[in-house]
Amino acid sequence: MARICGLPKRALGKEVAQHPEKRPKHRIYDSEPGNIAPHSFFITGFDDGCARQFTASLAMFGSVAMHEQLRYGLPSEVQPYSDTDKAYEKLKSKVCGVPRKKPCGGKVSKLDGNTVFVSIYERFGSNPHWTNLLLHDGDILAQDNKGS
């Protein structure tokens, strides 16, 4: 993940995702839309005004609600806690006032506008390795690599 400052918006590529949908803070740009080989992507919306560049075949946002469904549902029993999971546990406990390993539930909307996960896949299709980011309040709160 490289920090890139001063790059004009048109040099980032095509915007392919934004979060939140209304009044977006973060945006993902694809430098070569349609290319499924690894190439440059950019994320904007950080407090320092600089984009973050990385190489991937696919990158997408994942909502806090989606994370909670995966983390506190059946898959949670087989997936160990990652750095992004641990950082989210601390954040949601503070914001939602709930204990570890419990979802925010009805209070999840408190995180929707300023918190989002990013999944970065090295290959299109089957991925033995991928990276997760947790973005909160204009910063990367946590990053981890997953897979075999």
Count the Cβ atoms, other than its own, within 10 Å of residue 54. Answer: 17
DSSP 41-99: EEEE--TTS-EEEEEESEEEEE-HHHHHHHHHSGGGGTSPP-HHHHHHHHHHHHHH---
Contact between residue 129 and residue 56 where contact means Cβ atoms under 8 Å apart: no
Residues 6+ apart with CB under 8 A from 74: none
Q: pLDDT tens digits for the chain (148 residues)? A: 899 999 999 999 999 999 998 899 999 999 999 999 999 999 999 999 999 999 999 999 999 988 888 888 766 566 778 899 999 999 999 999 999 889 998 899 999 889 999 999 988 777 678 899 999 999 999 999 887 5
- pTM for the full predicted model: 0.90
pLDDT at 126: 76
Cα–Cα distances in angstroms (integers) from residue 76 to residues 15, 23, 71, 110, 140, in the given order: 32, 32, 5, 23, 23
Q: Tokens 């995180």, residue?
A: 111
